[in-house]
Amino acid sequence: MNGSRHDRTGGRRPEPATVRFAFTPAAAYVRAARLVAADVAARSGVATGLLDEVRQAVGEACTRAVLRHRDRGLRDLVRVEFSIGDRFVAKITDNAQDLRARSGDRVGAGTVGGDARANDHDALEEDTLSEEITLIVLGGLVEDLVVTGPDADGGTTVSMSWPLPGSGSQSDH
């Protein structure tokens, strides 16, 4: 390392690096994820004018993951990864099975001794609408947004990226 990294990269491409962590799916930890995102983004050279966007977008994506876990009764950790290369990339991954991807299945159906309740369909529609609104908000915040999944574990990953100085990414859009 070459001394303090508190200064901007001055047009130099930052060293490739990755920061990973996971947190219990609780709203209290979303704030910590936002703060880490802003700090890592600032240290990687993301323009000061974009730091609020990074903070808000990571917060929205983490909140989405926490709600997906909560709604499905999961205690698995929400995974967060920030990588620094040509761009600053934030990935937030949940482990919640995407109920909308399974045609014909209803919440509660197939559980031992349980029938699908009439309001389960309404709850599923409400969850779907809430998730769609979150993705619309993210789409308005982040120019480079990709949602993938469900993966083999049934979860989804929200990937977002922002340009770094000297990457040439700013003029590509």
pLDDT in tens, 110-149: 323 333 334 444 544 555 567 788 888 899 989 999 999 8
Decide: helix, strand or coil at residue 76: coil
Q: Where are the domains of the chain?
A: 17-103+115-171
Q: Is the pLDDT of residue 172 over 90?
A: no
- Mean pLDDT for 37-52 is 96
- Which of 52-56, 58-62, 141-145 has the lowest average pLDDT? 141-145
Q: Sorting pLDDT into bands at 50, 70 and 90, what band is 38?
A: very high
Quick one: pLDDT at residue 168?
62
| pTM of this structure | 0.73
pLDDT at 152: 73
| Structure confidence at residue 12 as a pLDDT band (50, 70, 90) | low
Spatial separation of the C-alpha atoms in residues 39 and 55, rounded to whole Å: 9
Average pLDDT over residues 9-19: 70
The sheet with strand 78-84 has its strands ordered as 17-23, 78-84, 87-93, 157-163, 144-148
Contact 17, 84 (CB under 8 A): yes
Work out the average pLDDT over 17-28.
95
- Per the rule left: phi > 0, alpha: psi between -120 and 50, beta: everything else, 154 is left
Average pLDDT, the chain: 78
Question: What is the percentage of the chain residues whose pLDDT exceeds 70?
Answer: 68
| CATH classification number, 17-103+115-171, choose in 3.20.20.80, 2.60.40.10, 3.40.50.300, 3.30.565.10 | 3.30.565.10
Q: What is residue 126's predicted lDDT score, i.e. its pLDDT?
A: 56
Looking at residue 38, its amino acid is: A
